[in-house]
Amino acid sequence: MPVGDLPLPPAFEEVTSWAGAGRVVRATESDVATWLPESQKAALISCGVPLIDDLISAVSFSAEPTMYRLARFDNGAPHSAWEYSAASASGKVLQAGLSDGSVSFVNSTINHWLCSLHLIGSWLTSSTAIDHWDEDGQVEEEAVAELADLLEQIRALDPPAVGDGDHRTHFWPAVLDRWLY
């Protein structure tokens, strides 16, 4: 996707409104890798990265020669820890499994990732169905419909992030499938 077509990430206040005070970490100018595209550096400084249960447990910015570390998830369970990083120059966001070293694509840019996180987080805090999906058939149908809608919103934002929708090969379909199990 051309740099001029990058989505604008939500404002810090928008993210804080659903994530909660103290649960959004913004980068400072000195935190940001010099080789990241300017608009993506600005996004990390202005928007910030939210902590989201079951998705992001810690935010830490660190420049490495070929990647820029953004955040991680670790709940202490075996084989369930991963790290999010941005590839040098492009800002493409990748997920690396900390136990097996596997690497998978998440979003086309940091801006797309921040927008996807905002979609997920604001949905999680506003959904009345997701916490009770297994209590009755109607609520389960509502939760499944909400997840399908959310996946389509991410697809519209960043088509490569959803791909063919297969949860075995694409990060966001896998994440959304996980909320029902």
Q: How far apart are CA 168 and CA 69, in angstroms?
A: 24
pLDDT below 50 — which residues of the chain?
A: 1-3
pLDDT in tens, 127-148: 887 777 777 888 888 888 889 9
Q: How far is CA 149 from CA 8, 18, 49, in A?
A: 21, 19, 23
The pLDDT of residue 2: 37
The pLDDT of residue 181: 60
The pLDDT of residue 16: 97
The pLDDT of residue 55: 92
The pLDDT of residue 1: 36
The pLDDT of residue 4: 56
pTM: 0.92
